[in-house]
Structure formats: C-alpha cells, structure tokens
Amino acid sequence: MSRWDIFERLFASFLAVLQPFIIYILYGDNSAISQSWSTPLQPMFIITNALVSFFFFKLEKWRIPATLLLLLTAFPVCDYFVLHNIFAILFFIFSGVSLWSIKRFRYYLFIFIFSAVLLFNGLFWAETWGIMVLVFYHIHLLVYRYLLESKRR
C-alpha cells in the first residue's frame, strides 16, 4: 500500500467523520444526514459518499455496502424517499454484515450495533455513530496493515 493510497483513504475518512458535524453546526439537528441534499452542502454529501464508496469497492467484503452507499447517494431522499431509505437501511445492515464477517477487530460490530440504541435520540445521531464506528474501524485496519507491511520490509 503506497503512502498516497494511505493519504487518500485518510482524507476520505476525515471527510466522512466531519460531514455530520458540519451539517449539525450549519443546519442544526436534521432528521437525517441525507437531508443535507436539500442544502448547499449537497456537493459535500455526494463527494464524501462517492469517495467512501470508491474505497469500499476495493475491499471484497465491503462491495455490497459500497454499492448501496452509491445508490442512496444517487437517489436523493427529497425525490426518492422510499427508495433512498431502503438503500440507506440496507447500507447499514450490510455494513454490519461486513463487520460480522471479519476476523480481526470484530468488537467493532458490537460498537456499531449500539447505533440502533441511538435511534431513540434521532436518526441523525444513530447514523453519525454508525459512520464514526465504520470510519474508525477502517482507519484501525489501515494502520494495522501499514504496520504489518512495515515489519515485513
């Protein structure tokens, strides 16, 4: 894995972590992250989801979540409410399935499942928690692989 590849993945992760907080700071407690489609933050929503999808496609166990993330981005909640929400729900379900299928760091699955409890505080915060867990898992995996490769050299 090249340093450029690591930088790209960290940049996409950084955007994914910042996105919900930028939405919250600028527009308050929206009902969902996807509501940013109807704001001037629409390009950030599209670019962030497209970048994350791109990197998920590179990981075999994450191709279904990658496709679902791209589809929920392509079908905005304001125009395709039901279809968008189906893709969004499936994205989180299949992200959980991908976390279940891993051998290392499986505890992230249980931290991820906690986002369901946060649904009682609102979808926005449940999504934010789920995204944070996914990002930290992938950063953890990235650092782990980098350190393994460094030891092999």
Q: Are 77 and 32 in contact (CB under 8 A)?
A: yes
For the entire predicted model, the pTM comes to 0.92
Number of domains in the chain: 1
Residue 31 burial (CB < 10 Å; 0-12/13-18/19+)? exposed
- If you average pLDDT over residues 140-153, what whole number do you get? 89
CA distances from 34 to 1, 87, 101, 139 (A): 32, 12, 27, 23
Q: pLDDT digits over 45-104, tens only?
A: 999 999 999 999 999 999 999 999 999 999 999 999 999 999 999 999 999 999 999 988
Domain membership of residue 63 as a residue range: 3-152
Residue 101 is predicted with a pLDDT of: 94
Quote the CA–CA distance of 65 and 44 in Å, as a whole number.
19
Give the pLDDT confidence of 97-111 residue by residue, as tens digits. 999 999 889 999 999
